Each structure stands twice: as C-alpha cells, then as structure tokens.
Amino acid sequence: MAPGLPPAMERPHFIGIGGAGMSGIAKILAQRGATVAGSDARESATAEALRALGATVHIGHAAAHLAADATAVVVSSAIREDNPELAAARERGVPVVHRSDALAALMEGTRPIAVAGTHGKTTTTSMLAVALGTMGLDPSYAIGGDLDGPGTNARHGAGEIFVAEADESDRSFHKYAPEVAIVLNVELDHHANYASMEEIHESFETFAGRIRPGGTLVVSADHDGARELTARVRAAAGSGDLRIVTYGEADDADVRVLKVVPRGLTSEVTVVLDGVQHTFAVSVPGRHYAHNAVAALAAGAALGLPAAELAAALGSYTGVNRRLQPKGEARGVRVIDSYAHHPTEMTADLEAIRGAAGDGRVLVIFQPHLFSRTRELGAEMGRALALADASVVLDVYPAREDPIPGVTSAVVVDAALAAGADARAEHDKEKAAALIAGMAGPGDLVLTMGAGDVTELGATVLDRLAK
C-alpha cells in the first residue's frame, strides 16, 4: 500500500511552487489527495500542470494568497525572509517547512533511492524513474527536470520504490534516509554555501551516514572526489552494515565499465556486474551519460532488481528537458539545449556534442549562472568553451543572487580567448541568437548552454535559420 499524506501536509502552501524541486513535491501531494496551493513569480507550463492536478496557483507574491486554513508553508532555500507570504505565515504561526523536509516526509514508508553528486543527478534519477516504470514497478519519483516520456518531474506511484534527486547545494540532502544512495561525483561548487573542498566532503559524508542500516552506497570509482569520499566512508563505517558498491572504468570498480561506444546522439555501454556482462543502449550521447546509466543499474541491482531486465529497461530512457535535449533542425543545422553550467558539465557535454557533430562545427550560446560561481569558476568555464568552434557569451544569470562588483561574463570571455577559443560577449540575447544563426551552416550543431533562461534561445535560433 502506498503511503498517504504526511502530517501537516493536508493543505500545504508552496512559495515558488513553479520551481523544479518545489513543483515536484506539490504534484505528489496533490496526487495523494492534499489540497495544494501556492504562488510563483510568473505563469508557466508548470503552473498549468499543477492546476490540472487541482492545485490553486497564484501569480505574484502577496500575503492574501496564503489561505486561512493552510496547514503548512513550504519554502526552498531561494525564498527570502521578506517574502510577504512567508512573513504572513510566521505572523499567523503557520508551520514553515523546508522543501527537503517535505520530500523526506513523502519518502517515509517507501524504499528510497537518493541520487547525489555535483553533476548528473537529474539524468540519473530520470533514468531510474523511466526504467523502473518500464519494468512495471510504478515508482514514485521527484526530479529536478521534466522527463521527455512522461513529461513531468514528479509522480506518486503505487510501487514501493521512491527515486529522488538529492540536492547538496544547501545541504538539504542531509534530511533523507535512503535505502540506496548514489554519489556520482564530488566537486567544489555552490560557493555561497561551501567555503572549501573539505566542507563538501564532510557534507557528502553526512549524507552517506544517513543511509538506512543494511543499505548501499553506490559511488563512482573514477572521480577523485568520489574515491576520497569512499575512503572516508569506509574508515568511518568500519565493520558496520553499510554496503559500498563502486562503479566505473577504474580497474578496482565493483561494477566495471568495459567500453562505451558512441553512436551519433546515442551510445552503447558494456559493463560487468556480479561477474555477468551486460550491453545496453543509452539514448543520449556522451561517456558521462553512459556512466550515469551504469550508476542507475548498480542502484537497482542493490535493491534486488534483475540486472539484465533493468539494463534493457534503461534503454527506454529518451532524455530529460535541458540535458542535451534536441530542440529541432532547420536548414541542416541541429539545435540542442544543455543545462551545463559548471566547467566539468560543460566539458562533458561539449565533448559529447563534438563526437556527434562529425565534420560539422559546434557553435555555442553560453550563459554563466550565478555571480558567485562565475567569480570562482569563470576562468574554467572559458577554457571549456575552447572545445567549441565559436561561442557567444551572455551576461551572468543572477538567479537568487545580487551582483558582485567586478564579476561579469568578461571573466569567461577573457579566459576563453586566452585558451585560443573563438568567443565574444553579447549583452542582447536576440542579437546573440542572430549571430550564431548567421554563422551556422548545414551539418553544424548549435548548443544553448546554461542553467538560466538561455534555454529560450533555441527556438529563436531555429526561427532565424528558417527565415
């Protein structure tokens, strides 16, 4: 029997209900029978999807939006204390619940798989959700992006497995108690919340320490940060009942990746798990996505699922919005959207696209995300852009941050030029789309890249190419 509503979640109000993480929890609660309400800054397809589930979604933030009978107000770390709805909740004594606590409550009574790591969380969580669904297991899931197939980022399923993306950015993944935890990689990011790599490691150690007794940590054997985490967790666990399964191309990996064969915008991966060789298709390009699929395979096997059946089911995953998502083709030019915003992600996606482009050129519109990240990693972002044939760099997308004096997209452009890249800055997004469309010819691949609103430019580029 699937779990019911957590206490105090019968009539929740979500501030910023349209966000990827917030909307997922709201959808699951609505599907479980809660009376869901919330607000967001603007209209969106997500707002409409929530209304279709019976939720009340207000546009704009006002104290009057908080219903008199609200049982809780759900917030994320992005919601500021001066938000009028949050202020009204505190004034009225309505319990304020962080998004991660709400998600943790939804996982109670299930067999949770929590997917963590600096990169690849959304893709790996999505692969598991789709594959488990293909196997008829009807999982619940909460993901930071919309799946191509089901077209949603969250679902309440009747099965016992709950797959969730576990966000390290604000340490909220410390709230979860998974049966299986995946750690894809451990790198320095989220500079507003972590001062050092040591703090990152301590945070991931805490997450690993939350795994249920008898549970499993599935962790990369190829990434230095992940290997360091494995050593720390082994030392801390001693002879405890935590099982650790490593995966990757390293010789000492428990689940060994033997080869990844690129096939255009897809690939084929061969692994050895428990002495048995499995070869299966991955419907997105790039070695890093193949490794994500192997992590998903190892996690499912840790839950006792048949590996051969799961490997075949992973081939049914067709992608998630913004993760190397094809947006269309015009005049022989393919346009693809990438959420990559950290240098490691950018490099991985550009290498994957380079392999898929063949003799064509790779042209990029890149939008740096967050002033703090650009200050710390902007030079590395610029060097990653040297993998493209030409790049146009937009202004920094601020998201939740205020500007930092002296930190602009020039940090990225200067580093790109120093690395030998063909890169230029452009403040006007429409002009950037026009520049790239003007450069593109048959066989070329255009990549819109970044975690902000650069995603909207794919349609603009296609429109200009068509004209």
Contact (Cβ atoms closer than 8 angstroms) between residue 449 and residue 364: yes
CA 169 to CA 122: how far, in whole Å? 14
Contact (Cβ atoms closer than 8 angstroms) between residue 181 and residue 207: yes
| Catalytic member of 35, 46, 122, 374 | 122
- The strand order across the sheet containing 72-75 reads 56-59, 37-40, 12-15, 72-75, 96-98
| Catalytic member of 46, 124, 165, 246 | 165
CA 105 to CA 127: how far, in whole Å? 23
- First and final CA of the chain: distance in angstroms? 55
**SS3 at position 423:** strand
Binding residues: 117-123
**SS3 at position 305:** coil
* Residues, the chain: 467
CA 305 to CA 167: how far, in whole Å? 25
Check residue 65 and report its DSSP letter: G
The DSSP string of 357-400 is HTTS-EEEEE--B-HHHHHHHHHHHHHHGGGSSEEEE-PPB-TT
Tell me which residue has tokens 């030029």.
417
Regarding beta strands 390-393 and 362-366, do their DSSP bridges make them parallel or antiparallel, or are they unpaired? parallel
CA 237 to CA 229: how far, in whole Å? 12
Check residue 320 and report its DSSP letter: B
Tell me which residue has tokens 């296609």.
462
Q: Is 121 a catalytic residue?
A: yes
Binding residues for ATP: 117-123
| Catalytic member of 27, 85, 110, 121 | 121
**Residues taking part in catalysis:** 121-122, 165
